[in-house]
Structure 1
Amino acid sequence: MGKGTQMGFIARRGRGATVLTGAALGALTLAGCSSDSAEPAASGSDSGSDTATEAPAELTPVSVQLQWLTQAQFACYYAAADQGFYEEEGLEVEILPGAVDIVPIDVLTSGGADFAISWVPKVLGAIEQGAAVTNVAQIFERSGTMQVAFADSGIESAADLAGKSVGSWGYGNEWELIAGMQASGVTLGDLDGGSTVQQAFDMNAFIAGDIDAAQAMTYNEYAQVLETENPETGELYTADDLVVIDWNDEGTAMLQDAIWADSERLASDEAYAETTTAFIKGTIKGCVFAKDDPQAAADIVTAAGSTLGTSHQLWMANEVNKLIFPSTSGVGHINEDQWEQTVGLALETVNPEGATIITADPPETAYSNEYVDAALAELADEGVDTMGEGFEPIEVTLNPGGE
């Protein structure tokens, strides 16, 4: 199996005995979760058997390229490594952190990693340009993207963005915003006297009043506002001070964090195909662990190198759990209706330059439930709950600055 050229986080031992090798990851300070430059140990967890299984004498080395830096957005993978779930599946997994200048699908297709984590609309464009990759597990079932405004801004829906200063990260993160505005009759390139603003991967411009409605992730930038002092009250901002436009509610949500594999290797390399199922299985067990003990998951990510504050990291773990659980078909299964909505929006949504994400339907190889369904079947046999029907998020209190 190919190893990435970057240094990353590698699990070499069993549950609770992870070894960090290489650089422990760059810092993320008030940074967005989803950019890539050209694209667009808790007891009581039900994430595995009651006792750790004996790992094979020889493990298959596997590398996965993340879409962004080390943070609880990727708690499933770090928890799976830390708790020995990958090793139980015969894998030694190296987790490669992302960065602004790293495009996960490029790393995957160039052989720099065996798997990559990326948002579906970003990868659809890459597939149309020739990238032979397959979505083999849709880890996030819901979108975590929102547009945030202050309650006194007069903004309550996407239609109200007309004439306003609207923040957008770009780099392929803007498509839900564009789709939501387009569906409400607002054209991104002409906001009736308003303007679009290239937003940094933080909420500083929004808090300063330079942006009327800022792009945010439920698990990151939204929390950045809530852990900031309101100068008018001397207290932290609260949800009552804000209005959010949730693209899940607006009907323009697109699929986000998915596991991507090399299509040609899946078709020609039986060992790689088997490894794909094993990697998905271990990852899902990591997701279940993070659901059952978000504090432990947050601590694991921090130990892996993230410099996010303690309360911010826990907030992120908790919010990410909401994007995964409860699952309608089992964690990672790609629901056809959600796939079709994402593809439909990718075909219809027009950016200011008049371009859509894709111009034709993607090939059948763009996604497959073969490997994730095999993993889900094995997990069901092991008694792992991959649906999380009784999932209840915890209450997280954010501290100033997320500390």
Structure 2
Amino acid sequence: MRSTARRYRFRACLAAAALGLAALTGCSTTDNSSTTTANGLTKVKLQLQWFKQGQFAGYLAALDQGFYKDQGLDVQILDGGTDIVPQTVLAQGQADYAVAWVPKALASRESGAGITDVAQIYQRSGTKQISFKSQNITTAADLKGKKVGNWGYGNEFELFAGMTKAGLNPAKDVTLVQQQFDMNAFLNHDIDAAQAMSYNEYAQVLEVKNPATGKLYSPDDFNLIDWESDGVGMLQDAIWANSAKLKDPKYADQTVKFIAASLKGWAFCRDNLEKCRDITVAAGSTLGASHQEWQINEVNKLIWPSPDGVGTINKAAWDHTVQIAKTTRNQEGQTVLTKDPDADAYTNDYVVKALVMLKAQGVDVTGAGYTPKTVTLTEGGK
């Protein structure tokens, strides 16, 4: 959900840095190397890709429950926002780790950002296309002739891949609508089919009263196209590290510890939904308790079960994401990637070590018996 203009700005920053002009361009090249606190903990900054919410509950829980501290880390979790590109913050040395979607992070990497995916938290895509039942849109082919909303900025490629797979030309067969980061246009019927994350925007429409009934909308009022089920899902939230700093044994060891504590946080949220809801609300989330409980429950579905171990990067899923990013074009005819990323774009080396640590602690790292709960939403997600 970040503008292409920022990618160009990042390229300019890299060029300026190479010429020693960072101070003149406003581009930060600060190397915020980790420092040690008075109590012997190593300071670490994690940059989120959005504001604190259930999407990031595992990190918030790891902080709240002392899992980072147990690993000798004093972690500061930085909010994201509309003007913050987490992978750029990481590449410029303003954070030690970042959470970002794989295709967008790889686009930044192709532009010169020295970042590596070291733990793939979400194993499945949570992107949907939602429509009112009255539109009779149940497949990608049904989008033909419709007003189709999307956020753009690299978030639309599953939608475009799904339409292309169904034989539609996204540039000609639908009317594309630039969608804001809310569901107002959809609820006002200005968009026939809107982009929505299972854990956020979908819940937002279910938290609104149906003017025809005076009751909250229910899932029966809508149709959903699930891009994961449609075969065009792409890898999303992952932990990214600084590629160059991974060559430093201290940073490499820190990375294992950071991953281990973060994964333990996600396992905690799998087993303690209500507690993680409260942690997220207390961390300052802007949406209410029922919305955050829904969000964490839905995020858990994207993570668990993890047969290979939570955080492990599955090569087939990675290759599938890269293929879509290389071959699916947006309305400007651009692809996310122009070539395959190099071998340093991801590694399982650190997450494997982290999983060994967690298994030794008795942590369930696969969630084979995971069963999601049923969450009741309230008006406005309160």
| TM superposition score normalised by structure 1 | 0.85
- Counterpart amino acid of 2:120? Q
Alignment match, 2:192: 212
Alignment match, 2:107: 125
Alignment match, 2:176: 196
What are the superposed Cα offsets for residues 150-171 of structure 1, whole Å, 9 maximum, x if unpaired? 1110211011111000000112
Counterpart selection for 2:263 from 284, 292, 314: 284
Alignment match, 2:127: 145
Alignment match, 1:79: 61
Deviation at 1:179, TM superposition (A): 1.0
Alignment match, 2:219: 239
SS in 1 for 2:228: helix
CA distance in 2 between counterparts of 1:215 and 1:123 reads 20
Deviation at 1:37, TM superposition (A): 3.7
Counterpart selection for 2:117 from 135, 156, 172: 135
Alignment match, 1:369: 348
Question: Which structure 2 residues correspond to residues 249-288 of structure 1 after superposition, within 5 A?
Answer: 249-267=229-247, 269-288=248-267
Counterpart selection for 1:298 from 236, 258, 277: 277
SS in 1 for 2:244: helix
What are the superposed Cα offsets for residues 101-139 of structure 1, whole Å, 9 maximum, x if unpaired? 001111001110000100000011111111111000000
What are the superposed Cα offsets for residues 233-290 of structure 1, whole Å, 9 maximum, x if unpaired? 21111111110000111100000000000111102x1100001110000000100111
Q: Does structure 2 conserve the Cα–Cα contact (< 8 Å) formed by 1:37 and 1:103?
A: no
Counterpart selection for 1:95 from 67, 77, 99: 77
Alignment match, 1:30: none
What are the superposed Cα offsets for residues 197-247 of structure 1, whole Å, 9 maximum, x if unpaired? 000111111111000000000000000111111111211111111100001
Question: Which structure 2 residues correspond to residues 360-399 of structure 1 after superposition, within 5 A?
Answer: 360-399=339-378
Alignment match, 2:17: none
- Counterpart amino acid of 2:229? D
Deviation at 1:75, TM superposition (A): 0.2
- Counterpart amino acid of 1:314? E
Deviation at 1:57, TM superposition (A): 4.3
With 169-178 and 218-227 compared, the bigger mean Cα shift is at: 169-178
CA distance in 1 between counterparts of 2:103 and 2:78 reads 22
Q: Does structure 1 conserve the Cα–Cα contact (< 8 Å) formed by 2:233 and 2:321?
A: yes
Alignment match, 2:293: 314
Give 5+ residue unaligned stretches, structure 2: 8-37
- Counterpart amino acid of 1:319? E
CA distance in 2 between counterparts of 1:218 and 1:205 reads 18
Q: Does structure 2 conserve the Cα–Cα contact (< 8 Å) formed by 1:36 and 1:68?
A: no
Give 5+ residue unaligned stretches, structure 1: 1-34, 41-55
- Counterpart amino acid of 1:36? R
CA distance in 1 between counterparts of 2:117 and 2:329 reads 24
SS in 1 for 2:88: helix
Alignment match, 2:30: none
Q: CA RMSD in A?
A: 1.4
- Counterpart amino acid of 2:2? D
Deviation at 1:36, TM superposition (A): 3.1
Deviation at 1:325, TM superposition (A): 0.6
- Counterpart amino acid of 1:61? K
What are the superposed Cα offsets for residues 307-363 of structure 1, whole Å, 9 maximum, x if unpaired? 211111111011111111111211100001100100111111111222211111100
- Specify which structure has the higher proportion of helix: 2
Q: Determine if the alignment matches structure 1 residue 36 to structure 2 residue 18.
A: no
Q: Does structure 2 conserve the Cα–Cα contact (< 8 Å) formed by 1:203 and 1:225?
A: yes
CA distance in 1 between counterparts of 2:3 and 2:52 reads 17
- Counterpart amino acid of 1:303? A
- Counterpart amino acid of 1:219? Y
Q: Does structure 2 conserve the Cα–Cα contact (< 8 Å) formed by 1:36 and 1:104?
A: no
Q: What is the aligned-residue identity percentage? A: 55
CA distance in 2 between counterparts of 1:74 and 1:97 reads 10
CA distance in 2 between counterparts of 1:246 and 1:265 reads 38
Alignment match, 1:64: 46
- Counterpart amino acid of 1:244? L
Deviation at 1:147, TM superposition (A): 0.4
CA distance in 1 between counterparts of 2:48 and 2:161 reads 26
CA distance in 1 between counterparts of 2:323 and 2:89 reads 27
- Counterpart amino acid of 1:116? A
- Counterpart amino acid of 2:205? V
Alignment match, 1:352: 331
